[in-house]
């Protein structure tokens, strides 16, 4: 079956610091990979996605590259802001799994001024 | 923009009550999902539906049922609420799997916080 492993938080950073959240996966077939973000008190929003190997998803200064050889999809941002404080979820779908999303456990990020 | 609307943001129910959580999407999506989110456990799939009147169990269906009488609406039902069902419930929807595009984005509602006392 499919599974996603991401680094546990909380991750505490100062503003303008570099952020990396590691995500690795196991999947049946050829998965698509996603990062979702959940701001305090809200539901999940799609942050970025990549649907095939070597694709790079990017949005709001965040980037992640689909690395098939290492089965990874690490999230990075070069200079975080206080408004980036949220919980970040790595997820995947695959046709073999009926296109259901499988989530990692989430990583809480706290950015301090 | 895709809109997934959950009818209640915050509910407090008593043990043993029957609870309905309603979800509506406005983009004619075939697929709809119910997840629950708990600290340290991430999101877990309860039930999903690929079409009207169709439902399939997710990873944790025990204690829940669902109803999909219309394409745009997917209801989660707790027949007899228990305190261990206190959680945040998230509804989601996406385009059909039949397109072959497994990268179809899944869109989430804002969540329903349920407390069972």
Residues A38/A108, Cβ–Cβ less than 8 Å: no
In the predicted model, is pLDDT for residue A15 greater than 70?
yes
CA distance A45 to A36: 5
Q: Which residue has the higher pLDDT, A28 or B63?
A: B63
- pLDDT, one tens digit per residue, over B62-89 is 999 999 999 999 999 999 999 999 999 9
A-proximal residues of B, 61-100, CB under 8 Å: 90, 92, 94, 97, 100
Interface test with A, best of B43, B46, B58, B111 (most A CBs within 10 A): B43
In the predicted model, is pLDDT for residue A63 greater than 90?
yes
Please, which pLDDT band fits residue A93 given cuts at 50, 70 and 90? Answer: confident
**Residue partners of B25: CB distance under 8 A and separation at least 6:** B2, B3, B4, B5, B32, B72, B74, B91, B93, B107
CA distance A77 to A61: 6
User: For the stretch A13-35, what's the b/e string if a residue is b when 16 or more beta carbons lie within 10 angstroms of its beta carbon?
Assistant: beeeeebebebbbebeeebbbbb
- Report chain A's mean pLDDT, rounded to a whole number: 92
Q: What is the model's pLDDT at position B103?
A: 55
Q: Is A8 on the interface with B (CB under 8 A)?
A: no
- pLDDT, one tens digit per residue, over B2-57 is 689 998 899 999 999 999 999 999 988 888 999 999 987 888 999 999 889 999 99
Q: Do B108 and A36 touch (CB under 8 A)?
A: yes
Interface test with A, best of B30, B42, B51, B100 (most A CBs within 10 A): B42
Q: Which residue has the tokens 């200064």?
A: A61
Q: Which of B85, B88, B75 is nearest to B7 (CA)?
A: B75
Residue of A nearest to B58 (CA): A100
Cα diameter, chain A: 44
- Report chain B's mean pLDDT, rounded to a whole number: 89
Q: What is the model's pLDDT at position B98?
A: 45
In the predicted model, is pLDDT for residue B99 greater than 50?
no
Residue B108: list chain A partners with CB under 8 A.
36, 43-45
Tokens standing for residue A66: 């689909």
Please, which pLDDT band fits residue B100 given cuts at 50, 70 and 90? Answer: very low
Residue A26, H or E segment: strand A23-26
Q: What is the model's pLDDT at position B96?
A: 65
Distance of CA B18 to the CA centre of its chain: 16
CB atoms within 10 A of CB A96: 14
- How many helices (H) and strands (E) are present in chain A, helices listed first? 0, 12
Q: Is A32 on the interface with B (CB under 8 A)?
A: yes
CB atoms within 10 A of CB A69: 7
Residue A100: list chain B partners with CB under 8 A.
33, 45, 48, 58
Q: Do A94 and B103 touch (CB under 8 A)?
A: no
Q: What is the model's pLDDT at position A1?
A: 80
In the predicted model, is pLDDT for residue B97 greater than 60?
no
Question: What are the backbone dihedrals phi and psi of residue A15, each rounded to the nearest 5 degrees, phi first?
Answer: -55, 145
CA distance A111 to A107: 13
């Amino acid at each position: 079956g499919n599974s996603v492993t991401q680094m546990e938080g909380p991750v505490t950073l100062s503003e303008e610091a570099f952020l990396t959240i590691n995500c690795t996966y196991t999947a049946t077939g050829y998965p698509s990979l996603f990062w979702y973000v959940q701001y305090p008190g809200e539901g999940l929003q799609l942050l970025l996605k990549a649907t095939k190997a070597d694709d790079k998803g990017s949005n709001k200064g965040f980037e992640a590259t689909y690395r098939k050889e290492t089965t990874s999809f690490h999230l990075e941002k070069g200079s975080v802001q206080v408004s980036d404080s949220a919980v970040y979820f790595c997820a995947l779908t695959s046709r073999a799994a009926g296109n259901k999303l499988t989530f990692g456990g989430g990583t809480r990020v706290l950015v301090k001024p | 923009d895709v809109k997934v609307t959950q009818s209640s943001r915050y509910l407090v129910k008593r043990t043993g009550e029957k609870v309905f959580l309603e979800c509506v999407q406005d983009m004619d999506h075939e697929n709809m999902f119910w997840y629950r989110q708990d600290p340290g456990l991430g999101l877990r799939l309860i039930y999903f539906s690929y079409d009207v009147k169709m439902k399939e169990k997710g990873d944790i269906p025990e204690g829940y049922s669902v109803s999909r009488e219309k394409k745009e609406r997917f209801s989660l039902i707790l027949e007899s609420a228990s305190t261990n069902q206190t959680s945040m419930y998230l509804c989601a929807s996406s385009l059909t799997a039949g397109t072959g595009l497994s990268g179809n984005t899944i869109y989430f509602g804002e969540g329903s916080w349920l407390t069972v006392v």
